[in-house]
Structure 1
């Protein structure tokens, strides 16, 4: 067993330790420049996904907004509460600045990987679609790379469906135990039942659950943060100055100065927004949209929501409270966020934070499960295997919730996530010319006066595209609009 620990420790050092973060940053800069700062060009269009006018006409399909909310539910988790607190504790206020910077780059990376997932998605024949990195590896790079897609799928299932779900179960039960004194066994049973109900409903039920949970989760947490900012409005300019000053070494809040702020901000930011890591494209592929770039823009918006809004909320809750003392040790993670909130608005707020944590954990669980299901379909179409996966995920969630030490068994999750990222980055780098081709098609239609560009598979006949996944291109509505 010691050899296994050492092996995964080596993988973690190779990926998250020194190679992955620079690669993600460099690739983010490269995509941003080569696409002409696409994340800023289409920033205004990102908000269109919130309008019902831009949703799918097919009631059986997964809308762009539903896919957005599922991916937000996956991105937004304990890292947005505990992770930001740790980053500020170890890196000072400047860590938030570098989280913002890496998110702005990640928005471009996310747009590219989501657009490729849409381009190479496959129809399930019932109005829903599936896809992701495994699909664009097989259909974009060629069947000779199928072994890489299988390797990717195995890592995806192990890391997300099992490893990260055990951690989320642990977070869920721990929060209830600390704030309400409910035994882990009972919260574990409740969580297992809820998980079972959702995962046996497939992607449609997952999307419907996200459509309810995520807005509630976001509004509660953002509302609390805005209240804290309003109560401490006179201190906001000073906090903003400390964020910028600490980021560039103009003032030192912790040991390590600007280096600590940079390292913590980049690492926590990348881990939180998941841009380039190859997880969220699996959800992006499920949406019924008119053009791949449209969903790419939507997934770019997901990164903005995760870091620029939710992570910033946590940071301001901490930095505006008297609890946080730069360089002090002893309080970090969720405890620091919780105590900071209590100091600003009173004891009642800790129960609202607990509720937010519960929603964060549950939304991540259903997202992680769907990634596991997508991975399984790359490996086998066997229905029995799907049922075994669902039962295994429910069992893992229960195990993670009831046994605090059980999450140590899933030590392989972070290293495997690093491997996933390297495989995904290699694939999208090889397919980047295709992504630029999609972007040119989208821009050309906008320039021609088309308000909502449409992807026509006939114009990309040289690519392995599933034409049945793009029904709008041959619809009477589209033909009529062209004639006009």
Structure 2
């Protein structure tokens, strides 16, 4: 009965009705329009903010740490296994639609991260926390909606997503080295427990060390493979574009599959609009001290995740000419493709990459759900230990579960989260536009772009001491 219920919900969200596909595309178009194509016009400025992003204060982690934390959650199975699924189910054209949803999603990612900063709060330790439940409750005054989102993120990031990442790690290592998935699950659970017990700052420090290294290694490998197979690249690009619009022979009926799988896997990878990254964004003390700063930097996360890393995986698979369906459409097709390019070492490389990519997601997912304990008044010792036990239990279970079960549950949780979050973002559009304009106007006048709440009209209420003049960094 549970499997049937999950299948029914996913059919509405992802299947026959495709509610999420239309919702996310419309949200991306809406914020692209309302913010003046910010992801294109301010593309260079987005990168320029990285220069000062390593600075922070005692109240929050640095913007760079927040970016790495959000990337550690974004960069995972979606970048390796998810791209393989998209290609095996939707053809090469699915990659084009992943690009489209990423470009549109950059504007949505900016909007949700900006709001997370505006409505952030301080926990009992004086550290910044926030996310969609907070901007829903404070900005819209809809506590029931905030509770609904928190339940969804506990189901998704606190339980199913971590289980899915553990599943992919166990499958990749088992495929390469023959270890049992249960023994791998024990190791993953113990290591995750050691890190998450240290809290968000420990998770952020771990992400800051691992994410840049693993991202650079993967990109350089993909670039090397592309250069070595440069003669095949024009045909590959033509295949992507023709398949995207069903223009190949016997491919006219496949355009729907390309769009559906490209957008679905693209969302699962970059998470724009789902309401996950705002939890990391809210924890930052940005420099310059303005909500828009973190919006720009988190927008960069969407770009790097999908336009860069997902494209790297697509290139590796398509240039290898590997085809796969069903379970092979997961991480194993990526391993086989890499093995085609660089021999037996390829399988080991992907196993290592997915272990690092997915494991960083496992620990970041913990922080996202934990940020919502405050909504249920469980931000205390008993609540934290209870949540930690449930989280680690799901990590262990996921390592041995079938991928189909875990993927369906993860898709359902992500879909429900996204519906709630996107509705809230649309309702809070006046605040998003006003805060963005405040930042842009100060830049035009060459003024310090620090944010003071009295200078900008926002919806609802902002916690005292967060954005008043005295608290400016």
What TM-score, normalized by structure 1, do the two folds share? 0.91
2:217 equivalent to 1:189: no
- 1:123 is aligned to 122
Asked whether the equivalents of residues 442 and 453 of structure 1 are also in contact (C-alpha less than 8 Å), the reply is yes
SS across alignment from 2:272: coil
Aligned match of 1:161: 158
Is 1:85–1:333's contact at 8 Å kept on the other side of the alignment?
Answer: yes
Determine if the alignment matches structure 1 residue 446 to structure 2 residue 437: no
Q: Post-superposition shift, 1:248? A: 2.5
* Native 8 Å contact 1:130 1:282 kept in 2: yes
Contact 1:48 1:54 in 2 (8 A): no
- TM alignment of 1:262-301, pairs within 5 A: 262-289=259-286, 290-301=289-300
In structure 1, the gaps of 5 or more residues are 479-484
- Tell me whether 160-169 or 109-118 shows the greater mean CA deviation: 160-169
CA contact (8 A) 2:164 2:410 kept: no
Residue-pair matches, total: 467
Q: Distance in 1 between matches of 2:66 and 2:395?
A: 23
- Counterpart Cα distance in 2 of 1:42 and 1:79: 27
Q: Decide whether aligned partners of structure 1 residues 38 and 410 sit closer, same or farther in structure 2, where only a CA change above 3 A counts.
A: closer
- Going from structure 1 to structure 2, the CA distance change for 1:57 and 1:9 (only over 3 Å counts) comes to closer
1:86 aligns with 2:85: yes
Q: Determine if contact 1:94/1:246 at 8 Å carries over to the other structure.
A: yes
Q: Which position in structure 2 is the counterpart of 1:356?
A: 353
1:9 counterpart residue number = 7
Native 8 Å contact 1:32 1:39 kept in 2: yes
- Report how far residue 411 of structure 1 moved: 5.2
Distance apart, 1:392 and its partner CA? 2.0
Q: CA deviation at 1:218?
A: 0.8
Aligned to 1:457: 453
Q: Distance in 2 between matches of 1:25 and 1:160?
A: 23
Note if contact 1:71-1:302 (Cα within 8 Å) is conserved in structure 2: yes
Distance 1:59 1:236, change over 3 A: farther
Unpaired stretches in structure 2, ≥5 consecutive residues: none
* CA shift for structure 1 position 48: 3.0
> Partners in 2 of 1:205 and 1:50 — Cα distance?
21
Find out whether 1:30 has 2:27 as its counterpart: no
> Which segment is superposed worse, 104-113 or 8-17?
8-17
Partner of residue 99, structure 2: 100
Asked whether the equivalents of residues 94 and 240 of structure 2 are also in contact (C-alpha less than 8 Å), the reply is yes
1:481 equivalent in structure 2: none
Shift in Å at residue 185 of structure 1?
A: 3.4
Change (3 A) 1:178 1:104: same
Offset of 1:173 from its aligned partner?
1.8
Cα distance per residue 1:198-251 (max 9 Å; x no partner): 111111000001011211221221121111101101221221222122223332
- C-alpha spacing 1:406/1:135, structure 2 compared with 1 (3 Å): same
Deviates more, 1:375-384 or 1:453-462: 453-462
Q: Which residue number in structure 2 is paired with residue 314 of structure 1?
A: 313
C-alpha deviation, 1:92, in angstroms: 1.9
In structure 2, what is the Cα distance between the partners aligned to 1:410 and 1:243? 25
Is structure 2 residue 340 aligned with structure 1 residue 368? no
Q: Report what 2:470 is aligned to.
A: 474
Work out the CA distance in 1 between the residues paired with 2:239 and 2:221: 22
Asked whether the 8 Å contact 1:246–1:252 carries over to 2, the reply is no
126-135 or 460-469, larger mean C-alpha shift: 460-469
Once the two structures are superposed, the pairs formed by residues 43-58 of structure 1 within 5 Å of their partners are 43-51=43-51, 53-58=52-57
Give how far 1:468 is off.
2.2
Report the CA distance shift for 1:396/1:315 in structure 2 as closer, same or farther (over 3 A). Answer: same
SS at match of 1:56: coil
Determine the structure 2 residue equivalent to 1:109.
108
d(CA) in 2 for partners of 1:252 and 1:378? 54
